[in-house]
Amino acid sequence: MLSRAAAAAGEVVGGGRGAGMTHAWLFTGPPGSGREDAARAFAAALLCPDGGCGHCEQCHQVLIGSHPDLEAVRPQGLSYSVKQTRELILRAAGAPTQGRWRVILFEDADRATESAANALLKAIEEPPPRTVWLLCAPAPDDLMITIRSRCRLVTLTTPGTEAVAHVLATRDNVPWETARFAARAAQGHIARARALALDEEVRRRREAVLAIPRALTGVGECVAAAERLVKTAEEEAAAATAALNESETSELRKLYGEGSTGKGLNRGLVRGGAGALKELEDRQKSRATRIKRDSLDAALLELVSFYRDVLAMQLGAPVELANDDVRFDLDQLAKSSTPEETLRRIDAIMQCRERLAASVNPQIAVEAMMLSLRS
């Protein structure tokens, strides 16, 4: 990856000493295709004196995220606020401290609010001469056309099962059979495949999701299944955010002198501290909501893959089954229902995803979905 990015960087940077450099790049690809990894490798290629050798101090700093000329940002909560974006644009305008470029890696650019996107547009319309923006989003259409048209597009595709399995086996030393299973189940999503291969808890959660279809035998079972799914997402979000919240909060308290003797603190500072703490809590709440939503969405996509497999069996489509390990369940459902019913079920899940994205109460949305999956 690094060498391909280096070639691309060489193509645009080479010779012209930066003249004609494209200042805004857009990396697109489905979830798991490695948008951020590709953008980061490209950043290394821009900042490394050797065009992205992958071994030097510069490359190393970029890859671990400590390079002073690279700023990688992601939304603090559900979306990029205009405030977060404006602060970033100010920082982006600074001159590079070491290399030729100051690189801003803007992850999940599709999560910018409209006003944040407008601020971003202004920044990439008139970029400081040494600043390069690397935006990442699932698809070009996820961004305003005015932003999109100013970016050079880098399109990534989903890698095949064999390729993902190969990465797991060679890079992470995963046994070949496990690597194949994880790659197949993750359907080309590398990070997901890696988690499935290495984390037993992730495998257990997947099994629980795939057990849902056969458990939906009555209304009570549907309600219970919905409750379990929502609760699991909540627990996941809580686990992911707890440690992070705690260290952020204690850091902020320290900054405002709390926990020290308090000598010399004036009332204004104490008031400022309370305001900042409230702001931090709001941000943390919004982040927890986002993680919970993402986790629920991942479970729903897992369910879609189950019914997609059922449909493939019903139609005799010559495709690889993502959930070959639960072939018995797939087979049962494929024989006892029609392709139309399967399509209707997939529709119900997609509708549930849309409702969740529109902030419908999760329990209500998931319950309605479970009932449609049953009948």
- Interacting span for Zn ion (CB under 5 A) from 50-58, 223-231, 276-284, 300-308: 50-58
Binding to Zn ion in span 181-240, by CB under 5 A = none
Considering beta carbons, is residue 49 or 175 the nearer one to Zn ion?
Answer: 49
Q: Which residues contact 346 (CB under 8 A, 6 or more apart)?
A: 304, 307, 308, 311
Distance of alpha carbon 260 from its chain centroid, rounded? 38
Beta carbon nearer to Zn ion, 6 or 89: 6
Please spell the DSSP secondary structure of 201-219, one letter per residue: HHHHHHHHHHTHHHH--SH
3-class DSSP state of 1? coil
Environment class of residue 276 by beta-carbon count within 10 Å: exposed (0-12), middle (13-18) or buried (19+)? middle
**Binding of residue 45 to Zn ion (CB under 5 A):** no
> Looking up tokens 């880098």, which residue turns up?
154
Q: Which of 53, 63, 144, 215 binds Zn ion (CB under 5 A)?
A: 53
CB of 171 to Zn ion, least distance (A): 19
Q: Does 47 bind Zn ion (CB under 5 A)?
A: no
Helices (H), 157-218: 161-171, 176-186, 190-198, 200-210, 212-215
Q: Which of 1, 18, 30, 56 binds Zn ion (CB under 5 A)?
A: 56
Whether 158 contacts 33, CB under 8 Å: yes
Q: Which stretch binds Zn ion (CB under 5 A): 47-55, 166-174, 249-257, 307-315?
A: 47-55
**Smallest distance from Zn ion to CB 194, Å:** 25
Answer yes or no whether residue 63 interacts with Zn ion by CB under 5 A. Answer: no
Decide: 339 and 314 in contact? Cβ < 8 Å. yes
Which of 46-54, 91-99, 333-341, 367-375 is the region at the interface with Zn ion (rule: CB under 5 A)?
46-54
Span of 44-52, 149-157, 200-208, 367-375 interacting with Zn ion by CB under 5 A: 44-52
Question: Under the criterion CB under 5 A, does residue 1 sit at the interface with Zn ion?
Answer: no
Interface contacts to Zn ion, rule CB under 5 A: 48, 50, 53, 56, 59
